[in-house]
Amino acid sequence: MNIVIASGKGGTGKTLIATSLALSLDEESEFFDCDVEEPNAALFLSPEWKGEEEVKLPIPKVDETKCTHCGICAKLCNYNAIAVFPNKFLLFPELCHGCSLCILGCPEKALTEDKRPIGKIKKGRRDKITFYQGELNVGEAMATPVISALKKKITGDKLAILDAPPGTACPVIETLSGADYAILVTEPTPFGLHDLKLAVGVARKFSLPFGVIINRADIGDSRVKNYLKEEKIPLLLEIPHKIGIARGYSEGKTLIDIDPTYREVFQRMIDDIRGKEG
């Protein structure tokens, strides 16, 4: 079972929930930090690192002896990554999305596939958790290929927890794709409600079962709860706004570290999710 922990906005405590959930499991599991632009789950799980590998994106490589500078490749590229002049072929690697359409469409077979590193995947271990962290290289614009490579590490025979990036853009779409369940983390504020609605819309587009956790539940107002009732969305858990949790969070502690009774709370929640999915 693949469970994605997501949120419509940053700062809701999504990673705190994801890491706490992982530590509550009394079974072999997999954790994937898909927030590849600023991964921080390792700060909470402190895995023992076992190795890493590069993530590479396919890009075209030109053989100028074959190229007639017809410009077909540039016309096929939807991302303006190629410019062709009468005597020159130019590639802008940072704009290339790796679709290889230019290679397939070249009538002279002057383009072949090359590889360009855009990030890496680190593997680690913590207790019964196999941990994977995706990292997008500084200056790169596309997080989705790194997330896609990260998800290929899912074995399918263990519970997999995927910590999604914040928001509802393409990296979140890629993380949610193929999931079995989504846990949406929000806060009871106007901003929290606004962005929760966006996240709910995305989950429903995928026809993905989901529930909501309200963090810092005793601040703000009741509009988030009212929205959940109106939309018949399951409220999975409420986490109070406590100085002890905030202090522990700032020290890199999970809810399990701060208050061990949360282990049983998360276990019951997962059992309930599995029962509904089963």
**pLDDT tens track for 28-82:** 999 999 999 999 999 999 999 999 999 999 999 999 999 999 999 999 999 999 9
Quote the pLDDT of residue 104: 96
Q: For residues 69 and 21, state if they share a domain.
A: no
Q: Name the residue among 248, 20, 53 with its Cα closest to residue 146.
A: 53
| Total domain count, the chain | 2
**pLDDT tens track for 84-112:** 999 999 999 999 999 999 999 999 999 99
The domain containing residue 194 runs over which residues? 2-55+119-277
Q: Does the residue 243 lie in any domain? A: yes
Q: For residues 69 and 50, state if they share a domain.
A: no
The pairing of beta strand 129-136 with beta strand 111-126: antiparallel
When mean pLDDT is compared across 5-14, 117-126, 224-233, the lowest value belongs to 5-14
Quote the pLDDT of residue 1: 94
- Distance in angstroms (rounded) separating the CA atoms of residues 186 and 233: 13
Convert 174-196 to b/e letters by CB count within 10 Å (16 or more is b): bbbeebebbbbbbbbbeebbebb
Quote the pLDDT of residue 233: 97
Quote the pLDDT of residue 32: 98
Q: For residues 148 and 78, state if they share a domain.
A: no
Q: For residues 138 and 85, state if they share a domain.
A: no
Q: Does the residue 114 lie in any domain? A: no
**pLDDT tens track for 72-87:** 999 999 999 999 999 9
Q: For residues 85 and 221, state if they share a domain.
A: no
**pLDDT surpasses 90 at 135:** yes
